[in-house]
Amino acid sequence: LVEYGFEQFVTEPKMFMKDLPNGGRCEFMLYIDDILGISNSSSFIEKFYEDLNKFTTCKNQGEIVSTLGIELEHSSTSVSLSQQTQIEKLLHRHAMEDCSGRDMPIPPSFSLRDALEAEPLNGSQKQVFQSLVGSFLYIARNTRPDIGYATWLLACAMAKPTAPCLKAAFYLLRYLKKTKNLKLTYKFSS
C-alpha cells in the first residue's frame, strides 16, 4: 500500500489514507478480508478496485448503509449514525420489547456507593449484568454519548455487581427502548 502512496495512520494501524490530485482524498480501513473506505473521487474508486482485482476478487458494494452494527444514513448535507437494530436485538435478548420506556438513562436516586454496599449478585445474574454493560459500552462508544455517564457508573460495578446495579442496568435498557430512534448526526460544512 505504501508503494501506491497510502500512509498508515499512527494511532490506527488498520487505517490508511491518501491525498489525491485536485484536493481529493481516500481513507479506508483494512479488515481481514474486507475494506471499508470513503473517497470524494469516483474515478479513484474505480481505479482502486481495478488495481485490487489484479491480486484478488473484489467488488464495490456501493454506499455503506450498515457496518459493525452501526446503521448509516446519508444525505447531501449530513451523515447520521444509529444503532436502532442493535438496541432492538438487545431488548429482544432480555424479553423487553414491550417494556415501558424511561426519560432518563439512570434513576435520579441511584447512588453507586449505596448500590455497591448491597449483596453481590449470583453467577448467572452477574453474567446478565456484565453482558448488558458490555452492550451499553459498545452503543455509547459508537452512537450514543447520551448514555456515557450512566454506562460508566454501571461499569464501575463490573467486578461485584449487586441487585441495585442490575436494576439500574435494566432502567438504562428501558431508556434505550424509548430513545432507540435517536441518531448521531454529523453535518457537512464547506
Report the DSSP beta bridge partners of residue 162. Answer: 120
pLDDT tens per residue across span 26-67: 888 887 777 788 888 888 888 888 887 887 777 777 788 888
In the prediction, which pLDDT does 1 show? 67
According to the model, what pLDDT value does residue 162 have? 98
Q: What is the pLDDT of residue 32?
A: 77
Nearest-angstrom CA–CA distance, 75 and 72: 10
pLDDT of residue 113: 96
pLDDT tens digit at each of 190 positions of the chain: 666 788 888 888 889 998 988 888 888 888 777 778 888 888 888 888 888 788 777 777 778 888 888 999 988 899 999 999 999 999 999 999 999 999 999 999 999 999 999 999 999 999 999 999 999 999 999 999 999 999 999 999 999 999 999 999 999 999 999 999 999 999 987 5
This prediction has a pTM of 0.79
DSSP letters for 90-137: HHHHTT-TTPPP-SSSS-TT--HHHHHTSPBP-HHHHHHHHHHHHHHH
DSSP states of the chain as a string? -GGGT-EE-SS-TTEEEEE-GGG-EEEEEE-SS-EEEEES-HHHHHHHHHHHTTTS------S--EETTEEEEE-SSEEEEE-HHHHHHHHHHTT-TTPPP-SSSS-TT--HHHHHTSPBP-HHHHHHHHHHHHHHHHHHHHT-GGGHHHHHHHHTTSSS-BHHHHHHHHHHHHHHHHTTT--EEEE---
Whether the Cβ atoms of residue 1 and residue 8 lie closer than 8 Å to each other: yes
